[in-house]
Amino acid sequence: MSKLLVKAKGGSGRVAHVTPENAGWTYVGFDLHRLKQGDTVSAQTGNREACLVFVTGRGEVEAGGADLGTLGERMSPFDGKPWSVYVPQNSDWSVTAKTDMELAVCSAPGLDGGLPVRVIAPNDLGQEVRGKGTNTRYVTNILPESEKADSLLVVEVITPGGHTSSYPPHKHDQDDLPAESYLEETYYHRLNPPQGFAFQRVYTDDRSLDETMTVEDGDVVLVPKGYHPCAACHGYDLYYLNVMAGPKRTWKFHNAREHEWLLNARI
């Protein structure tokens, strides 16, 4: 199995755990917690900031010493926009599940930005359609460049069955602004119906990295560098939650030149 593919471990609790140390990179962290009703998860951010994304379910939230009440409403990541909470560095947080739930904890270095805890409600989130034809996908911006954070960029994408995404292939592995930014990235994948599968390839121009992975419901894919397109199989919609971070908080990507013609093609 590819070292870039992280399979969920266990049916409940923290089932995915990506850190800069175990990923072999510098910035992005990602945890996925599956909580039963009544379970509580808590942590301290230390020198990192965090974005708590309610993938599914409802929970009572405390962060930075404040009671934020009960958040979350969707029971499937394919059904509407998420609730999220931004938690700055040197803050504690806890979530107690009011229903069975999935909580994603996205993290990256804090930069002493002095930002407050804030709830990111579904009505605060912008959505957009990218691509055309069988490259159409639907994007929900949770923590885009236009919203304040120190390092994190967080986004959800729904790719209908039979469609491609993160395509034409693009990369963001060079600190070469304004042309391209260096950003590490994780993909947390879900399938609808859940017995489905999709494909993701991660590769570089020189093919020193070239991995093609079958992704199933609940898998995490690491993108340390290179291009990283996805393909959803017929009959199975693909959801993924992206976390990106790097030395500068901006998303500037480079398209694979041999496939860039697709942007202007009538297909």
The pLDDT of residue 11 is: 87
Average pLDDT over residues 126-135: 95
Q: Which of 29-43, 76-90, 101-115, 162-176 has the lowest mean pLDDT?
A: 101-115
Give the percent of the chain with pLDDT over 90. Answer: 95
Average pLDDT over residues 242-262: 96
pTM across the whole model: 0.96
Cβ-in-10-Å burial (0-12, 13-18, 19+) of 90 comes to middle
Task: Answer yes or no: is pLDDT of 31 > 90.
Answer: yes
Average pLDDT over residues 19-36: 98
Structural domains in the chain, CATH included, are 5-264 (2.60.120.10)
The pLDDT of residue 204 is: 98
Task: Answer yes or no: is pLDDT of 102 > 90.
Answer: yes
The pLDDT of residue 207 is: 97
Task: Answer yes or no: is pLDDT of 113 > 80.
Answer: no
Which pLDDT band holds residue 114 (cuts at 50, 70, 90)?
A: confident
Q: Which two tokens stand for residue 203?
A: 């590769």
3-state secondary structure string across the chain: CCCCEECCCCCCEEEEEECHHHHCCCCCEEEEEEECCCCEEEEECCCEEEEEEEEECCEEEEECCEEEEEECCCCCCCCCCCCEEEECCCCEEEEEECCCEEEEEEEEECCCCCCCCEEECHHHCEEEEECCHHHCEEEEEEECCCCCCCCCEEEEEEECCCCEECCCCEECEEEECCCEEECEEEEEEEEECCCCEEEEEEECCCCCCEEEEEEECCCEEEECCCECCEEECCCCEEEEEEEEECCCCCCCCEECHHHHHHHHCCC
- Termini Cα distance of the chain: 34
The pLDDT of residue 266 is: 74
**Which residue matches tokens 């399979």?**
7
- pLDDT tens-place string over residues 32-48: 999 999 999 999 999 99
> What is d(CA 39, CA 190) in angstroms, rounded to the nearest whole number?
22
Average pLDDT over residues 240-264: 96
Is 135 in contact with 77 (CB distance < 8 Å)? Answer: no
